[in-house]
Homo-oligomer: A and B are copies of this chain.
Amino acid sequence: MAATNKVYLDNGATTRVLPEVLEAMLPYFGEVYGNPSSLHDWGEEAKDAMEESRGKVAELLNANAEEIVFTSTGTESNNLAVKGIASAYKDKGKHIVISAIEHFSVMHSARTLSKEGFTVTTVPVDKDGLVDPDAIAGAIQKDTVLVSIMHANGEIGTIQPLKEIAAVTKKAGVLLHTDAVASAGNIPTDVKDLGVDALSLASNQFYGPKGVAALWVRKGVRFLPLFDGGIQEGGRRAGTDNVPGIVGMGKAAEIAKKDMSLNGERLIPLRDRLINGLTAKIERTILTGHPTRRLPGHASFCVEFIEGEAMLMMLNMHGVAASSGSACTSKALKASHVLLALGIDHALAQGSLVFTIGLENTIEDIDHVLEVFPAVVDRLRQMSPLYDKYLKARQGVK
């Protein structure tokens, strides 16, 4: 089943760990294997490495090292931020604000809070997936304690006007968390510049290992831990620290900071080549998300009359990895709430297809997709009763 031409365009699901990152991690499995909480040289060496990494992650965010809490996934960071901050301030108020296109780890954390007596206002987005800062201002109430708006969306690539939103929350005296899991390491996430109070990021989204992520929370902002237990991470996240993972995340953060401009320089031309090529070659195909305010490597579409999983399977036969927000690709069998929030109907949302380009991809990779994908679409449309109806209706019109 393996294709000779291997083109990985699912970097939004996870990236490949860089060789330098893996190399940095290696000593921390079998050589410097102490527990950083232990009181001896083995522990001390592990702790030093962990703290150095914390510094590197902080640098990526232009933050202070002691404000970084290491976690295991972007999901954990988002749960910790949304539930942790809201719970810590619940005496002040029990209202939070999110957008309609948040990742489930934010959206369902909000739902859990709503079961605990919080009310949640979900702010809509426009057809490009943008949140209107004025809508945030309108949604904030006297008892609002937290606004959580993602930095960039992993399904449609749209980057939110966070600075403008931060100006609103600051003025209202409300805390602002941002889910930067899809953006951190790929576009600048300077927390001072953005003006946010808390930010989630995940290592495997920028060429670091899986199993490690972080939450940055501005000093002075309180949050309750998710885990009861020991005093690791200053009591903010109990459990033995994942030292090799943390070292890998630190190295990946260091490289990401250094190479940040490459994302724009290299990925945007590839992305635009893919977007322009596909929309030109395949009729009845729309770009989803904002045409320009989008992640550098992110090209997402809805292809009418056919379904995403079937496209993924055929692309896979051609050696291409991509993803989809179709109902059939989700275990819950529901179309992506993100696509629906853009005003896309269920049938069109079924045709969702997302390519996420990484720094290892080449122009040849893009051209391979441009070559094979139209035939994939053709084949599936030939089988589609909806395409049939469309053609007949078109003929009827003529």
Chain A residues proximal to chain B, CB less than 8 Å: 1-2, 8, 10, 13-19, 21-22, 25-26, 29-30, 33-35, 37-43, 71-76, 78-79, 103-105, 107-109, 111-112, 202, 204, 209-212, 226-231, 235, 238-245, 309, 312-313, 315-316, 320-324, 329-332
Closest to A13 in B: B35
Contact residue among B14, B43, B229 (Cβ-Cβ distance under 8 Å from A240): B14
Closest to A26 in B: B22
Closest to A105 in B: B229
**Which chain B positions have C-beta within 8 A of A79?**
226-229
Tell me if B41 and A17 are in contact (CB < 8 A): no
Q: How far is the CA of A8 from the CA of B244 in the complex (A)?
A: 19
Contact residue among B34, B109, B229, B316 (Cβ-Cβ distance under 8 Å from A41): B316
Tell me if A1 and B240 are in contact (CB < 8 A): no
Interface centre among A8, A79, A228, A242 (most CB of B within 10 A): A228
Distance from A380 Cβ to chain B, minimum over Cβ atoms (Å): 15
Q: How far is the CA of A328 from the CA of B315 in the complex (A)?
A: 60
Tell me if A2 and B41 are in contact (CB < 8 A): yes
Distance from A320 Cβ to chain B, minimum over Cβ atoms (Å): 8
Tell me if A230 and B75 are in contact (CB < 8 A): yes
Tell me if B105 and A227 are in contact (CB < 8 A): yes
Copies in the complex: 2
Q: How far is the CA of A113 from the CA of B354 in the complex (A)?
A: 42
**Which chain B positions have C-beta within 8 A of A105?**
227-230, 238-239
Known A35-B14, A240-B204: A72·B228 in contact at CB below 8 Å = no
Closest to A16 in B: B33
Tell me if B34 and A104 are in contact (CB < 8 A): no
Contact residue among B34, B71, B316, B320 (Cβ-Cβ distance under 8 Å from A10): B34
Other CB < 8 Å A-B pairs besides A16-B30, A105-B228, 11 of them?
A1-B41, A13-B34, A17-B29, A25-B29, A39-B323, A40-B315, A40-B322, A41-B321, A73-B227, A209-B242, A210-B241
Interface centre among A41, A78, A330 (most CB of B within 10 A): A41
27 example contacts (A-B, Cβ-Cβ < 8 A) are as follows A10-B34, A10-B35, A13-B35, A14-B35, A17-B29, A17-B30, A22-B29, A22-B30, A29-B209, A34-B321, A35-B210, A39-B309, A39-B313, A39-B323, A39-B329, A72-B73, A72-B76, A74-B239, A75-B228, A76-B227, A79-B229, A105-B238, A111-B228, A209-B242, A211-B212, A211-B242, A242-B245
